[in-house]
Amino acid sequence: MTRLSVNINKIATLRNSRGGNVPDVEKTALDCVRFGAEGITVHPRPDERHIRYSDVYALKPLLDVEFNIEGNPIEKFVSLVCEVHPAQVTLVPDAHDAITSNAGWNTVTHAAFLKEICRIFRSEGIRTSIFVDPVVRMVQGAAEAGSDRIELYTQAYAEHYPVNREEAIAPYYDACREAVRCGLEVNAGHDLNLDNLAYLKHTLPRLDEVSIGHALICDALYMGLENTIAAYLKALK
């Protein structure tokens, strides 16, 4: 079964655009869980333009589902994760000024760095996932670094899905198969939505978790949060 982790960054973006505490990030996270989400994902960035570091500390004791913290493992981020102690940390190589994540790690070029970061989190008992493009060698590098999982960066899949879904998913199938061979679990995320999610789920040889935020929150504007989460769970089953 593939678990749905809801990324609530967009809720924080909306809150921050006006000031105050509407919408309430903590309440939204709890509502997502109440409506069936099996995990909550946050991606705090150094400028705190959406999820703030204080949000991460506040959310941890409230959640009884998997808490996944994404981010570039700069020193401040590593300290945050070790203090909060989530179930999972996802390493993403985004620049400080990136609008959103736009590439996976080059796990060969950054092999020594990633190995050390994985060692730190593993010593804390935190599952580590490395965000990678659907490239077999990058998957192998994640395994060599000591990661527990990979998260496949699915932007290219989502972009090409309407044109030719078989071609769009082919490199992801190969990368996923290599991950299984290497003993890695497999997550996926970025631009997944109700149009392309089911095909990804039912085609890949393994898919443990998807992290979805932007599309899910956009759908919730029309369908409501409860109905939207139900629709995404249905797509995964």
Catalytic residues: 43, 70, 190
* Spatial CB neighbours of 36, under 8 Å, sequence gap ≥ 6: 4, 229, 230, 233
How far apart CA 21 and CA 125 sit, in angstroms, is 33
What is the SS3 assignment for 170-210? HHHHHHHHHHHHHCCEEEEECCCCCCCHHHHHHHCCCCCEE
Asked whether the beta carbons of 81 and 114 are under 8 A apart, the reply is: no
Query: Can you tell me whether residue 32 is helix, strand or coil?
Result: helix
Nearest to 188 by CA among 152, 223, 224, 134: 152
Asked whether the beta carbons of 40 and 14 are under 8 A apart, the reply is: no
Angle at 189 between CA 185 and CA 193, to 5 degrees: 130
